Structure formats: structure tokens, C-alpha cells
Amino acid sequence: MEHMSGPYVIRGSVSLPEAELMWRFSRSSGPGGQHVNTSDSQVELRFDLARTEALPPVWKERALQRLAGRLVDGVVSVRASEHRSQWRNREAAAVRLAALLAEASAPPPKPRRPSRIPRGINERRLREKKQRAETKRGRSGRDWS
């Protein structure tokens, strides 16, 4: 069997622990041909997020909160069946899981500090608004004597 291409890095020096990944293979409904009905090319990759020690505690907390809707008993699962070969589907599933965990454990964005609008900009807007009103008022045919 061909070997997986290296550790799947989540972020920085943290990567998916190979020992904690649970693989399941089944027949895929995806592309294939005559061979597809006999080979288990669909891959389901499961990772026990609740019990893992591979992630820093803060990341783990964040990921558990953000992925709460996807977890089944603290386990997150990813499926891949877009390729014909099981090996490429394994790659795809592992990359997808790493990306999912990276996104879920990312620090929250900095809060936005509202900026003040410079006074000059406001004054210019009002000035242009007045001018526009004058132009439009000049178009009405009232003051024609």
C-alpha cells in the first residue's frame, strides 16, 4: 500500500495525529466504471475531538464549540468520494479534516473599532447636497415672469 503523504498540519507545529484517525471504507457512488462496484473507494475519516490530546486545550474548546452541530459524541467525521482511487480519497479526506480543524480552532477575529467620520467629509456632503437641491429647484418653472 502506498504511504500517506506526511503529517497533515492544522496550524503551526500542530498536526493530525495519525494514531487517532479512524478510517472507514465503503463502496462509492461517485465516478468509476465497471471497477467501481467492487472497490471500496469512498472514505470516511473520523476524529475524536472530545478525547484528543493532540490539540492545545484552548483550540480544542474553540473547535468543540464551533463544530457542535457536526459532532456525534465528540467525534467529527469527513467523507470523500470524488476520486476513483481510495488513496486519493484518503488524501482528500485528511486534508479536508485538517482544514476544518484549522478553521474551527482559529482565534476569534479582533473586535471592530468604529472609526469616526472626519468633519470635513460630512460638511462637504451637506454642501453638495444643498447645491444639488438648488440645481433642481432652478428647474421648476415657477419663477418665470
Per-residue pLDDT tens digits for 3-29: 455 677 777 777 777 777 888 888 766
d(CA 139, CA 114): 40
d(CA 23, CA 67): 20
From first CA to last CA, the distance across the chain in angstroms is: 97
Could you count the other beta carbons within 10 Å of the beta carbon of residue 65? 9
d(CA 45, CA 20): 10
Task: Give CA–CA dist 64/1, Å, rounded.
Answer: 34
Q: What is the pLDDT of residues 62-99, one digit of tens each?
A: 888 888 888 788 788 888 888 878 888 888 888 888 88
From the list 35, 11, 12, the residue with the least C-alpha distance to 99 is: 11
